[in-house]
Amino acid sequence: MKKFLLLLTVLVTVSCASVKPLSQDRIQVYEQLVSVTNQDLPLTVDEVTVLDRVEFSESERTLDYIYTLGFSGDDLSQSQIQELKSQISYLVQENMKNNNTPAVAMYRSDKLNIRHRYYDSNGKELITVVVPAGSY
């Protein structure tokens, strides 16, 4: 058991050490990307989804996409919310895996997490989907 814990500690330490902090230049690139993107928002994605804004968190190494859905979460059962989350999660992850644009290549290189947060029409957070760095 001690050997297992030691090995686990070494693996975690090595994996954490392999992610270098983002350079100040790269942080500025992401801040500029967010600023330029937000100038064109809100953007209607489909009949019920609006992309409201994009945010970058240096401390979380995360790019956030914030959406509003055109319905109230109060009108859905927990199983319907879970099904919706499952569908959105699948679509988001597949889109990231199959996206070969220069921007996504940069996200991959910088090991960014991508988070999609969906709020209902009342402003209540309904669904959060995280695509961790290394999974896309």
Token pair belonging to 90? 């699948």
Whether the Cβ atoms of residue 120 and residue 71 lie closer than 8 Å to each other? yes
Q: How many residues does the chain have?
A: 136
- When pLDDT is cut at 50, 70 and 90, the band that residue 69 belongs to is very high
- By 3-state DSSP, what share of the chain in percent is helix, strand and coil, each rounded to 5? 45, 25, 30
The pTM of this model reads 0.83
Burial-class residue 1 by CB neighbours within 10 Å (0-12, 13-18, 19+).
exposed
H or E element in which residue 30 lies: helix 24-39
Residue 3 has pLDDT above 70, yes or no: no
Token pair belonging to 14? 């090595």
Summarised one tens digit per residue, pLDDT across range 19-42 is 899 999 999 999 999 999 999 999
